[in-house]
Amino acid sequence: MTVESGWRWEYEPNFEHVAKGLPDRVVAEVERLAGQLIDLAEMGIDVTDIGEGPRPGVAGGVRRLPLLEDGFMLALPLPRLQLIAITYICPPFADL
């Protein structure tokens, strides 16, 4: 049995629910940003304080991160699980 260690990211609950049908460029950018969040977390940066949260100036909770021109994605950093959960993607207006 292999035990995974280190940070990872996942679509929550799954790709079909969060990203299915979105243009490839949007999905690629979400996955690039998720990878950057993992890199930051592994360097010891507090990813619970990146982007905008539910309470301005307070870390934790679902974070809103800009995506391409005018879209956004919602990510929930879960440090105890070493997981970034991508929960919602709003593509740029041009991709709707």
Q: What is the pLDDT of residues 78-88, one digit of tens each?
A: 999 999 999 99
- Tally Cβ neighbours within 10 Å of residue 38: 18
pLDDT at 27: 98
Q: Which of 22, 24, 20, 35 is nearest to 91 (CA)?
A: 22
Tokens 């974070």 belong to 63
pTM here? Answer: 0.91
